[in-house]
Amino acid sequence: MSPARGMVTLVLGVAMLAIGAYVAARPLWTHNAVLTGARWLDMAFAIVFMLRGLINVRTAMGPRSER
């Protein structure tokens, strides 16, 4: 993986983690309001985004010998 691609992967991973955490934590300060129309859909969205973000960050921070 080139250094530029690694940086893009890292930035996207961090952004996805932040969006997932925001969607998951939003009901705490909005009195249980949902973004997508259903609580289960919000939580599924948050889980998918946080998992994909974690995968991106782990890929970007992987061993430098492959680059």
**pLDDT for the residue 65:** 58
| pLDDT score of 24 more than 90 | yes
Model confidence at 66, in pLDDT bands (50, 70, 90)? low
Q: pLDDT at position 1, please?
A: 73
Q: Model-level pTM?
A: 0.85
- Residue 44 identity (one-letter amino acid): A
Listed by start position, the domains of the chain span 3-66
| Signed CA dihedral, 39, 41, 46, 47: sign only | positive
Which single residue is written with the structure tokens 């889980």? 47
pLDDT tens figures, 34-55: 888 899 999 999 999 999 999 9
**DSSP string over 16-63:** HHHHHHHHHHHHHHTTS--SSSSHHHHHHHHHHHHHHHHHHHHHHTS-
